[in-house]
């Protein structure tokens, strides 16, 4: 498994931040640990004209995440040039980890960044998040299902909220049980048959202390609803931008439309930019990153739109 569209764009077009003397890059910051493995992020900070705002870049394609996919261009540079500090988050990757486990990594990452906001010179109440495809799905889940911190937690990071103040993303899955059409189940099947590993949900058998695959269809569907952002939209959610091609065969544009309908019902600020004839990624896509930056400028810079 590779990063697919994300890897092609990032690895084909990207350069390291070390190529730009105006940017300070800190690699492999440990934001958490799981099963003895470190979870890391890279921090990109402008050396001049920082605007005091932080953006979380979810490095994910097909729910596969890897440090080597982090490149300065084209999905980080436009934001840093505008003064944003960007946190490129690598999550626990499939096929080892499933989507529910990956979502916990994102909660941890946002909490870590918020807890250390002063050290990075960013406002903890104005954090944005972005990504594409699976990274877009994870961004939407953070926007709609972010959690309050636990004030009684021994770990001070866990006392921080994992909510964000704005979301922008490319072609995200939003409803795995109505995927492309009503009632279409895509939990590692149908259109997403080639992505079975992140949907191999498990639960712990306390008697044998082993993880057991969940085969019960009702329970699988319950988890499918839990990991679908469309089911978490509420009136207090942050503003959302989605850019989606209307010829996308992997993530149908119907997914963006469903999410937009949910936002409108709840009164959540939402914008959909449709790319006519575009599939799952398109030539010149890096230019559309500027639209994401414009969105964050509008909804993060200068005022607070969503306080954790």
pLDDT of residue 306: 40
pLDDT of 128 over the 70 cut:
yes
The mean-pLDDT minimum among 20-34, 126-140, 181-195 falls in 20-34
Question: Model confidence over 14-47: pLDDT tens digits?
Answer: 444 445 778 999 999 999 999 999 999 999 999 9
pLDDT of 308 over the 60 cut:
no
The residue-averaged pLDDT of 79-83 equals 96
pLDDT of residue 302: 60
Own/partner pairs for 182-191, CB < 8 Å, 24+ apart?
Answer: 185/221, 185/224, 187/220, 187/221, 187/223, 187/224, 191/249, 191/250, 191/252
8 Å CB contact between 88 and 6: no
For the chain, the farthest-separated pair of C-alpha atoms sits apart, in whole angstroms, at 57
Give the fold, CATH level 3, of 5-299: Rossmann fold (3.40.50)
Question: Model confidence over 47-64: pLDDT tens digits?
Answer: 999 999 999 999 999 999
Averaged confidence pLDDT in the chain: 91
pLDDT of residue 56: 98
First to last CA, the chain: 36
**Cβ burial, residue 205 (10 Å; 0-12/13-18/19+):** exposed
The residue-averaged pLDDT of 53-79 equals 93
Q: Where are the beta strands (DSSP E) in the chain?
A: 23-34, 37-46, 54-59, 85-90, 127-132, 166-170, 202-205, 210-213, 240-245, 270-275
pLDDT of 304 over the 70 cut:
no
Question: Model confidence over 207-237: pLDDT tens digits?
Answer: 888 888 989 999 999 999 999 999 999 999 9
**H/E segment holding residue 292:** helix 289-299
pLDDT of residue 205: 85
8 Å CB contact between 264 and 146: no
pLDDT category, 12, cuts 50, 70, 90? very low
The single-letter DSSP state of residue 165 is: S
**% the chain with pLDDT above 90:** 83
């Amino acid at each position: 498994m590779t990063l697919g569209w994300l890897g092609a764009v990032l690895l084909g077009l990207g350069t390291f931040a070390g190529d730009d003397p105006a940017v300070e890059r800190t690699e492999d910051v440990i934001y958490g640990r799981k099963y003895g493995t470190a979870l890391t992020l890279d921090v990109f900070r402008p050396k001049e004209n920082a605007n005091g705002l932080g953006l979380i870049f979810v490095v994910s394609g097909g729910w596969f995440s890897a440090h080597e996919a982090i490149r300065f261009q084209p999905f980080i540079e436009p934001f840093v040039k505008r003064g944003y500090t960007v946190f490129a988050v690598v999550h626990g990757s499939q096929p080892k980890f499933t989507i529910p486990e990956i979502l916990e990594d994102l909660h941890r990452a946002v909490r870590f960044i918020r807890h250390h906001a002063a050290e990075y010179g960013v406002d903890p109440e104005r954090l944005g998040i972005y990504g594409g495809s699976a990274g877009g799905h994870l961004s939407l889940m953070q926007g709609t299902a972010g959690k309050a911190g636990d004030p009684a937690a021994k770990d001070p990071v866990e006392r921080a909220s994992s909510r964000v103040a704005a979301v922008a993303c490319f072609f995200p899955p939003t409803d795995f049980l109505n995927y492309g059409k009503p009632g279409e189940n895509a939990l590692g099947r149908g259109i997403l048959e080639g992505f079975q590993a992140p949907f191999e949900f498990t639960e712990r058998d306390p008697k044998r202390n082993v993880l057991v695959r969940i085969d019960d269809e009702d329970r699988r569907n319950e988890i499918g609803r839990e990991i679908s952002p469309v089911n978490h939209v509420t009136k207090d959610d942050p503003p959302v931008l989605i850019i989606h091609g209307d010829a996308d065969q992997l993530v149908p544009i119907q997914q963006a439309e469903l999410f937009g309908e949910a936002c409108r019902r709840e009164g959540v600020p939402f914008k959909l930019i449709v790319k006519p004839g575009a599939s799952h990624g398109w030539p010149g896509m890096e230019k559309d990153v500027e639209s994401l930056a414009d969105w964050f400028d509008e909804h993060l810079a200068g005022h607070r739109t969503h306080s954790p």
